[in-house]
């Protein structure tokens, strides 16, 4: 592989995600704590891939997470409907005593890391408590979709765990379903029309075919009980 090759995901019209640049692909499993809340990410298998490969976007491939061409026979409509307006201009801001929480709700991938101990939207109001502040940071950083982001009020700096470029195939055993593609490390996402979505450290892309905010996940995999069979 040419080390200078850009790490990129190109969205094919009514077809798959074309991944280039030798991006590693792993299974990432949502694990619960003893109270039953989403708490940790557990890495499962690592897929053997070439420098370029195609990932299923319609949800019907018999070789998930990879595309096998089934999108053609099921007449998949992959029309992109997501806005390309930058995150900061779409997100709602919640002002806490030590941090600002930004929230773009239509990016929610329903991973539920924001729920423990009373939900992050209430916890943000008590971030002058060091333990609550630590929990808020944990919950926001575990959000795979980038729906939730944090800024420190004193410094103005973004609080963000930086990822290396990689793709996680999300599995959610607690809900009995499979989740989106977790895109990490500011990978370029190119629309079918050649324009680019905002480059971000973490986003989630729909792979069940049911999102109404394509190419991004909106949690529809949970309502349709999408199951890719990878963990079976």
Tokens of 92: 């709602």
The predicted pLDDT at position 2 comes to 46
Please report, for residues 97, 124, 125, 226, the alpha-carbon distance to residue 129 in angstroms, rounded to integers and kept in the order given. 9, 10, 10, 39
Identify which of 14, 31, 68, 60 has the alpha carbon closest to the alpha carbon of residue 191. 14
Backbone torsions φ then ψ of 69, nearest 5 degrees: 90, 0
Query: pLDDT tens digits for 65-110?
Result: 999 999 999 999 999 999 999 999 999 999 999 999 999 999 999 9
Q: Which residues contact 12 (CB under 8 A, 6 or more apart)?
A: 18, 54, 57, 78, 192
pLDDT for the residue numbered 232: 81
Closest by alpha carbon to 182, among 110, 230, 104?
110
14-45 in b/e form (b: 16+ CB < 10 A) is ebbbbbbbbbebebbbbeeeeeeebbebeeee
CA distance 88 to 126: 23
Checking if the pLDDT of 208 tops 60, the result is yes
Rounded Cα distance, 217 and 192, in Å: 17
Determine what percent of the chain is predicted with pLDDT higher than 70. 98
* Residue 80 half-sphere exposure toward CB, CA atoms < 13 A: 22
User: CA 215, CA 212: separation in Å to the nearest integer?
Assistant: 9
Confidence of residue 1 (pLDDT cuts 50, 70, 90): very low
207 phi/psi in degrees, rounded to 5: -135, 5
Record the pTM.
0.96
For the chain, give the mean pLDDT.
97
Kindly report, residue by residue over 126-145, the tens digit of the pLDDT.
999 999 999 999 999 999 99
Which 8-state DSSP code applies to residue 198?
P
Question: Can you list the alpha helix ranges (DSSP code H) found in the chain?
Answer: 70-73, 87-90, 120-123, 130-142, 220-224
Assign 223 a pLDDT band (cuts: 50, 70, 90): very high
């Amino acid at each position: 592989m040419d080390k200078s090759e850009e790490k990129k995901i190109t969205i094919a019209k009514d077809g798959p995600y074309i991944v280039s640049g030798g991006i590693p692909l792993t299974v990432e499993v949502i694990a619960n704590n003893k109270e039953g809340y989403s708490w940790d990410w557990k890495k499962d298998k690592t897929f053997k891939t070439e420098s370029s490969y195609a990932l299923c976007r319609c949800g019907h491939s018999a070789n998930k997470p990879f595309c096998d061409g089934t999108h053609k026979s099921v007449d998949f409509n992959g029309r992109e409907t997501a806005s390309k307006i930058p995150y900061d201009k779409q997100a709602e801001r919640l002002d806490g005593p030590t941090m600002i929480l930004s929230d773009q709700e239509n990016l929610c991938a329903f991973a539920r890391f924001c729920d423990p101990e009373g939900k992050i939207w209430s916890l943000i109001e008590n971030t002058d408590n060091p333990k609550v502040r630590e929990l808020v940071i944990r919950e926001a950083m575990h959000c795979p979709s980038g729906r939730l982001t944090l800024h420190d009020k004193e410094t103005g700096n973004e609080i963000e765990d930086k990822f290396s470029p990689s793709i996680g195939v999300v599995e959610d055993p607690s809900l009995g379903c499979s989740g989106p593609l977790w895109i990490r490390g500011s990978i370029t996402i190119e629309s079918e029309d050649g324009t680019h979505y905002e480059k971000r450290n973490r986003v989630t892309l729909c792979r069940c075919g049911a999102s109404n905010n394509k190419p991004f996940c909106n949690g529809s995999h949970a309502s349709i009980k999408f199951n890719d069979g990878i963990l079976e």
